[in-house]
Each structure stands twice: as C-alpha cells, then as structure tokens.
Amino acid sequence: MNVKRLVIATILGILCGLFCMYGAMTKFPGEFDTLALIGIVYNRALIGIVIGTSDNIDLHPALRGAVIGVVVSMAMAIFDAVWIVVGLGLVYGILIDVVTSKLEDRI
C-alpha cells in the first residue's frame, strides 16, 4: 500500500465531501439533518480511503474510481433512498482517483 496515495485520496475525499455537503445545504435548505450531512462527508471520505488503498487494481483510474464511487455510495443510497448520492459518488470517485493518480507521482 502506498501511504502517499492513501493520504492524497483521503484528503481529496474529505474536500469533496465538504463541497457536497455545502451543495446539499444550499440547494436543499432545511431538508438534511446534521447526521445526514455528516454522512455525506463520511461517504466521500470513505470513497477516498478505498481509492487510496486500491492502487494494486489494474484498471484505468477513471473506471476504477467510478466503480469504487458507486459501490461505496450504494450503502448510503439504500438506507436513505437518495439515488443522486450514487451518481455523485460515481463523479467524485472518478475525480478522486484521477487526481490522486496524477498527484502521487508529482508529490
């Protein structure tokens, strides 16, 4: 496991989670309670952690990130019935994995 990759992906996951939480708060004010907003950040951070530990999976970073983003986001979508979470998980998974793959060689 590449520790540098794990740190980069986790930080990107947390940042994506905070961005997603802010978007949920401003687009749908009052519809999400505090626990749901924390769950959004947790979900995106978890996507980052899983992507950070998946450097040995030999797939293109965009495909690997998409699969991981969907799989990790499915749990939140099933319990909350918010299927947009899966779509955004796909997008954030691709973003986190592609950026992490580019940055891990440069830092």
Tens digit of each residue's pLDDT (9 = 90 or more) over 67-104 = 999 999 998 777 666 778 889 999 999 999 999 999 98
Read off the pLDDT band of 1 (50, 70, 90): confident
Mean pLDDT of 45-74: 95
AA identity, residue 63: L
Mean pLDDT of 28-32: 86
Instruction: Check residue 75 and give its pLDDT.
Output: 83
In the chain, how many domains are there?
Answer: 1
Q: Burial of 29 by CB count in 10 Å (0-12 exposed, 13-18 middle, 19+ buried)?
A: exposed
Instruction: Check residue 80 and give its pLDDT.
Output: 64
- CA proximity to 82, closest of 25, 17, 42, 32: 32
Residue ranges making up the domain that contains 7: 3-106
Q: Burial of 1 by CB count in 10 Å (0-12 exposed, 13-18 middle, 19+ buried)?
A: exposed
